[in-house]
Structure 1
């Protein structure tokens, strides 16, 4: 398998309901992860985009969190509807989605 141009990490951390830090699972990360998988498959982007689910990446209050390498850009409060924009604008187009970037004090 060739090395992808971009690698996307989606936090899928699950914590018990009521945990003070919350979790990306409670914020809908499964929908985000599934949408990335579905679009990568439907658009045959396997060689361009790597996708990995992860545990906690830190900013739980901004979940679901998505981290894109090699740039090291973290997106917060990502929804299923945001996935197309992230793929088109950032992963394929090279321009990060400014409105979704986590604040500098977080990442």
Structure 2
């Protein structure tokens, strides 16, 4: 497997009902992860982009959270419709999507 140019981590953290912290699973993160995998396959970018589901990335209240390396760009409040923009602008054209990034309060 070639080393990917970009590595996308999609939080799929789940917490039990009543837990004091929210989780990305309460905010439809599985749909977001599936959309990333769909775009990866549709665009045939397997040699350039790797997508990995992961546990908590930190800013739970801002979820679903997505982290892109090597830049270390954290996106928050992502929904299925945002995934195409992340692929188009960031993953394929190296321009992080400013409007989707979490505030410096959470990641910066």
Q: TM-score, normalised by structure 1?
A: 0.97
Q: Offset at 1:18?
A: 3.0
Distance 2:98 2:17 in 1: 31
How many pairs are equivalent?
A: 107
Matched, 1:6 2:12: no
RMSD of aligned residue pairs (Cα, Å): 0.7
Provide runs of 4+ in structure 1 moved above 6 Å: none
Instruction: Tell me which residue corresponds to 1:82.
Output: 82
> Which blocks of at least 5 consecutive residues in structure 1 are unaligned?
none
> Which blocks of at least 5 consecutive residues in structure 2 are unaligned?
none
- After superposition, what is the alpha-carbon deviation per residue over 1:21-52, rounded to whole angstroms, capped at 9, x for unaligned? 11000101000000000110111111110111
Instruction: Tell me which residue corresponds to 1:40.
Output: 40
Instruction: Tell me which residue corresponds to 2:20.
Output: 20
